[in-house]
Amino acid sequence: MRRFAPYVLGLSLAAPAVTAGDTKPPVIPLTLPSGKVLQGEVMQTPSDRAQGLMFRPSLPEDRGLLFVFDEIDFHSIWMKNCKFPIDIVWLDDQHKVVDVAEAVPPCKADPCPSYLPMRRARYVIELNARQARREKATLGSVIQFELPR
């Protein structure tokens, strides 16, 4: 039986300390199928992916998080230490939407549920709840972006 390790949106009960070597993730434009352009925070490193939306009070309407994985797989997400509901959008190598979990609630108690896509994905985008449908990010649609070099 294959086990899926969730990409943690929160790892501890206390916010991590920021050190002089810490850098913020790059931000790139994400063009949603509706034509709306969001500022996408690129979560490429394991620590960025682990931090995600953990402990943030909200996500501005013009922002999203883009999780980038080295391999296409069934990347699971959970909502530990997240404070608000979100939409989770999984994308394949061609940036086509392969699954959407809408209005996923924050985790209230351990163990937190994990959310898995129906198909393998390389990218995951986290948006405010109900934003995916409003911006036409539905199965088969394409979200346009170019990763930083």
Residue 147, domain member (yes or no):
no
Please tell me the total count of domains within the chain: 1
31, part of any domain: yes
pLDDT at residue 22 in the model: 61
Cα gap 137→96, rounded to integer Å = 9
Give residue-wise pLDDT tens across range 78-101: 999 999 999 999 999 999 999 999
Q: The domain spanning residue 116 has which CATH number?
A: 2.60.120.1140
pLDDT digits (tens, 9 = 90+) for 47-63: 999 889 999 999 999 99
Q: Is residue 120 part of a domain?
A: yes
Bridge partners (DSSP) listed for residue 114: 78
Q: Give dist(CA 81, CA 11) in Å, integer.
A: 8
Give the number of C-alpha atoms closer than 13 A to the C-alpha of residue 11, restricted to the C-beta side: 11
Range of the structural domain that residue 80 is part of:
6-14+24-134
> Coil, strand, or helix at residue 47?
helix
Burial of 33 (0-12, 13-18, 19+ CB in 10 A): middle
Q: How many helices (H) and strands (E) does the chain have?
A: 2, 9
**What's the whole-number average pLDDT of the chain?**
87
One-letter identity of residue 16: P
Q: Sheet with 6-7: list strands edge to edge.
A: 6-7, 76-78, 114-115
CB atoms within 10 A of CB 133: 14
